[in-house]
Amino acid sequence: MAMSLIDHLTEHFKPEAYHDTYREELDSMIKAKIKGLHPKPKGETPHPTKSTDLMELLKESLEKAKHNPQVLHA
What's residue 60's pLDDT?
Answer: 85
Is 90 exceeded by the pLDDT of residue 67?
no
Count up the domains in the chain and report the number.
1
Going by the DSSP 8-state scheme, the letter that residue 42 receives in this structure is S
Residue 72: pLDDT over 60:
no
CA distance 62 to 53: 15
Q: Indicate the average pLDDT of the chain.
A: 84
Q: What is the residue range of 42's domain?
A: 2-73
Q: Which residues are within 8 A (CB) of 72 and not within 5 positions of it... i.e. 6 or more apart?
A: 65
Of 43, 58, 33, 11, the C-alpha closest to 66 is 58
Region 49-59 average pLDDT: 83
Per-residue pLDDT tens over the stretch 11-34: 888 999 988 988 999 999 999 999
Q: How far apart are CA 31 and CA 23, in angstroms?
A: 12
Nearest CA to 55 among 44, 63, 66? 63
Question: Is the pLDDT reported for residue 74 higher than 70?
Answer: no
